[in-house]
Structure 1
Amino acid sequence: MIPFVTLEGQRALVTSGTRGAGAATVRLFRELGAEVLTSARSRPDTLDEGVSFVAADLTSGEGCEALAAAVRERLGGVDIVVHMLGGSSAPAGGFAALGDAEWRRELDLNLMPAVRLDRALVPGMVAQGGGVVVHVTSIQRTLPLPDATTAYAAAKAALSTYSKALSKEVSPKGVRVVRVSPGWIETEAAVSLAERLGAEAGGDAEAGKRLIMAALGGIPLGRPSTPEEIASLVAFLASHRAGSITGAEFVIDGGTIPTV
């Protein structure tokens, strides 16, 4: 019996694929039959069998160029690009705490890698007559936390707008462009944060999780998403089952965003 979703024969690039939702996506793509290349700043201690890896700093133009060259050399082109890279290192303290350097770091991490890699790889997709680009944004583009994530949220909003524009340009040429917008994901880093916040409040990791959910205004589902749930959505959107979906954004946040 043919599985509901298959990526058999597809060549895929997944950025930041060594931990969290990125690692879960790499693992699922391999299970579904894709040939996968992934990247991070440094090589992890272990990699899933059959996964190709490139160490690259994608916050620089040179790092993006090196990764794009590796995609062409090792995969001979690409059918799926998943831009999983993202995050925030900006300090708390609201807008006044963000200088030009902090703004530049957030844009260089959350927007420019996708712009640069798409510029290098999407023309090949157009030339071959098909492909899928998945931009991983964030619900914070519509639900920013002003104390600490203003620049991150603005960068993700820019990524979403850019993604929509790209979809209008290349969808008529056979390349689908979609967005996945997660809320809080229970990664190792998120668990560590919950443990720290819980301890600071005199409680445990579960107390810390409740504090995080309260800061987000509550999660109706009562828990964060798992990396595997994010990966499942990405895999479906990248597959032929989603063949008429392009230019759209799919929120996976347990109901965190309170509006339609």
Structure 2
Amino acid sequence: MFRTPSPADPTELTGKRAFVTGGSRGIGAAIVQRLLDGGATVVTTARTATDETPKAATFIQGDISTLAGVLELTAAALDQLGGVDIVVNNAGAARTHLGGISSIPDEEWLDALDLNYLSAIRVTNALLPALREAGAGGAIINISSAAALMPVPPLAHYGAAKAALNAYGKALATELAPAGIRVATLLPGHVITPGADVINQTFADAMDVSLADITAGVPLGRPGDPRDIAEAVAYLASDRAQWVTGVTLTIDGGQLPII
């Protein structure tokens, strides 16, 4: 069971303006709430809001799978925020194909790249001028996946797109370091979210085991909670991480082998 940490410092991110994609539920909603708890002003986006979407954030409906959609969305976000200091590229999803790699249709490879990789590039490029204008201290945090390091055939398209995101984050960190803008990439493992539950249930049904069996075996004794990822984002977005950039951090309770 997730143990609630000490209350967040409500002033740590005061004055910071954050934009979070995929913030309507799951990991994204937890990130939005944690940034709000730290004192940041937050705009978030998804195709639809849900009951999980933090009410204190400004929600803008949008589609980041196209350049036109991103440009419209980021312009609206900057109008609300007046600038930006923190960008969290969290949006991501994929469908499971139990038939393996050859059963994944061409359009789903393209969709996986658009949503899980290219969307982050589009959002970042659109917001970079505002990040640079804000000066040193900005942070870009990309939410990748442990599937980028240990891909499985039914989700090869998802793992490949997230692996590309990892490489992009490394290169971007090098380029932006002279401007004082930091870049980090987080790789969540088995985190209990609505989207992950659908994927895990598909695997469980195929193997004739329970959903709990799929998420068992984590060395730290439990699957992840969205707040586990949100806490890492809050650290990386804060001045506590002012000398941290270019990192790729796996957060999985010790499930992946050390490589």
TM exceeds 0.5?
A: yes
- Aligned residue for 2:129, secondary structure, equals helix
Look up the equivalent residue of 1:135 and give its one-letter code.
N
Q: 1:84 to 1:224 in 2, by over 3 A?
A: same
Distance 1:90 1:222, change over 3 A: same
Contact 2:24–2:48 (CA under 8 A) maintained in structure 1: no
Alignment of 1:35-114 (within 5 A): 35-45=41-51, 47-114=53-120
Is residue 2:191 matched to residue 1:223?
no
**Pairwise CA distance, 1:3:** 3.4
Q: Deviations over 1:76-132 (max 9, x none)?
A: 110000011011125222221123211101001100111001111112212332310
CA contact (8 A) 2:21 2:88 kept: yes
8 A Cα contact 1:90 1:102, kept in partner: no
TM-score (norm 2): 0.89
- The answer to whether structure 1 residue 15 and structure 2 residue 21 are counterparts is yes
> Relative to 1, partners in 2 of residues 1:189 and 1:152: Cα closer, same or farther, differing over 3 Å?
closer
Going from structure 1 to structure 2, the CA distance change for 1:228 and 1:81 (only over 3 Å counts) comes to same
* Residue 175 (str. 1) matches residue 174 (str. 2): no
Q: Give how far 1:44 is off.
A: 2.9
TM-score, L = length of structure 1: 0.89
For this pair of structures, how many residues does the alignment match? 251
Counterpart code for 2:100: G
Provide the C-alpha distance between the structure 1 equivalents of 2:186 and 2:20, rounded to a whole number of angstroms. Answer: 14
Q: Which runs of 5+ in 1 are unaligned?
A: none
Aligned to 2:4: none
Match of 1:139 among 125, 129, 146: 146
Shift in CA distance, 169/99, structure 1 to aligned 2, threshold 3 Å: same
CA distance in 2, matches of 1:149, 1:220: 23
Long gaps (5+) in structure 2: 1-7
C-alpha separation between the residues in 1 aligned to 2:256 and 2:208?
29
RMSD value over aligned CA atoms?
2.2
- 2:259 is the counterpart of 1:253: no
Gap change, CA 1:194 and 1:175, over 3 Å in 2: closer
Quote the Cα distance in structure 2 between the aligned partners of 1:98 and 1:200: 17
Partner of 1:232: 231
Match of residue 209 from structure 1: 212
Q: Percent identity?
A: 39
